[in-house]
Structure 1
Amino acid sequence: MNMVLDRNDIPIYYAEDAYIHHYVSPDRMTKAYFRNRAHWSGVTHAYVHRLFFGYEEAFKRTKLQWSELWLKLRVVMRNRGKPENFSRLCQIACLVTWLIKFYQDYLLYKLSGRSYTPPQVTWTTQNWLDEISRWPDGQEKYEQLYQLYLTAGEIEGARQALAKLETYPPADPSKSATASWKEWSAPPPWRLRYEQLVRQLRDVVEATVPRQGAVLVVSKGDGKLLKLNGRRAWHFPQDDHGKYTGYYPADSAAAIAQLETLRGKGADFIVFPSTACWWLEHYGEFRQHLLRHYQMMSHQKEICLIFDLRAPGGRQLDRVGEASSTSIEDQFTGQRMLPPQVALTAEYWIKEISGWPEGVTKYVQLHHLFLTVGDTARAEEALRQAAERLPPVRTVDTLTGTEIHSIKGLEKLGSAYGGWIVPTLDISAGAVCYLAGVGEDITFDLALIERFNCSVFAFDPTPRAKLHVHKQAAQRSQFHFFEFGLWDAEEILKFYAPANSEHVSHSVLNLQNSDRYFEAPCKRLSAIMREMGHSRIQLLKLDIEGAEYRVIDSLVEDRLDIGIICVEYHAVHNDADDEFPGKIKKYVARLCEIGYALVAVEPHLNYTFVKRSFLAP
Structure 2
Amino acid sequence: MFGTLHKIALSWFRKIRIIYRHIIGVEPKVYVTHKVSQHYHGNSGYGGWSIPDGILNSESIVVDIGLGEDISFSESLIATYGCQVYGFDPTPRSIKYVRDRSPKKFHLYALGVAGTNRITTFFLPNISNHISGSIIKSNHVGNSQVNVELIDLTSLLELINKPGIDLLKIDIEGAEYELLESSAFKDNAHSIKILCIEFHHRWKEIGPQATLAAVASLRKMGFECIWQANETNEEFTFLNTSYIDGSNA
TM bin, normalised by shorter chain, reads 0.7 to 0.9
* Residue ranges of structure 2 left out of the alignment (5+ in a row): 1-5, 8-15
* Corresponding residue for residue 71 of structure 2: 442
* Corresponding residue for residue 539 of structure 1: 167
Give the Å deviation of 1:402. 3.4
CA distance in 1, matches of 2:72, 2:65: 14
The two structures have a TM-score, normalised by structure 2, of: 0.82
Match for residue 20 of structure 2 among 176, 191, 196: 191
> Contact between 1:407 and 1:616, CA under 8 Å: does it hold in 2?
no
Residue 467 of structure 1 pairs with residue 86 of structure 2: no
What amino acid maps onto 1:509 in structure 2?
Answer: I
Match for residue 149 of structure 2 among 516, 521, 541: 521
SS of 1:402 mapped into structure 2: coil
Give the Å deviation of 1:192. 6.4
> Contact between 2:134 and 2:141, CA under 8 Å: does it hold in 1?
no
* Corresponding residue for residue 567 of structure 1: 197
Identity %: 27
> Contact between 2:153 and 2:185, CA under 8 Å: does it hold in 1?
no
Give the Å deviation of 1:531. 2.4
Give the Å deviation of 1:616. 6.4
* Corresponding residue for residue 287 of structure 1: none
SS of 1:552 mapped into structure 2: helix
Within 5 A, what are the aligned runs for 1:460-499? 460-472=89-101, 474=102, 476=104, 478-499=105-126
CA distance in 2, matches of 1:530, 1:425: 27
SS of 1:400 mapped into structure 2: coil
Give the Å deviation of 1:425. 2.0
> Contact between 2:195 and 2:239, CA under 8 Å: does it hold in 1?
yes
Distance change >3 Å, CA 401–CA 463, structure 1 → 2? closer
* Corresponding residue for residue 421 of structure 1: 50
The two structures have a TM-score, normalised by structure 1, of: 0.34
Distance change >3 Å, CA 190–CA 480, structure 1 → 2? farther
* Corresponding residue for residue 597 of structure 1: 224
What amino acid maps onto 2:60 in structure 1?
Answer: A
Give the Å deviation of 1:401. 4.8
CA distance in 2, matches of 1:188, 1:540: 29
SS of 1:514 mapped into structure 2: strand
What amino acid maps onto 2:151 in structure 1?
Answer: K
Match for residue 177 of structure 2 among 549, 566, 579: 549
CA distance in 2, matches of 1:500, 1:191: 29
Report the number of matched residues: 224
Within 5 A, what are the aligned runs for 1:13-28? none
Give the Å deviation of 1:471. 2.2
Distance change >3 Å, CA 506–CA 401, structure 1 → 2? closer
CA distance in 2, matches of 1:427, 1:484: 25
Distance change >3 Å, CA 585–CA 552, structure 1 → 2? same
Distance change >3 Å, CA 495–CA 552, structure 1 → 2? same
What amino acid maps onto 1:451 in structure 2?
Answer: T
* Corresponding residue for residue 13 of structure 2: none
SS of 1:522 mapped into structure 2: strand
Give the Å deviation of 1:566. 0.7
CA distance in 1, matches of 2:47, 2:34: 23
* Corresponding residue for residue 558 of structure 1: 187
- Which protein is bigger by CA-based radius of gyration? 1
Match for residue 213 of structure 2 among 572, 586, 590: 586
> Contact between 2:164 and 2:192, CA under 8 Å: does it hold in 1?
yes
CA distance in 2, matches of 1:188, 1:479: 37
> Contact between 2:136 and 2:174, CA under 8 Å: does it hold in 1?
yes
* Residue ranges of structure 1 left out of the alignment (5+ in a row): 1-43, 46-186, 196-397
The structure with more strand, counted as a fraction of residues: 2
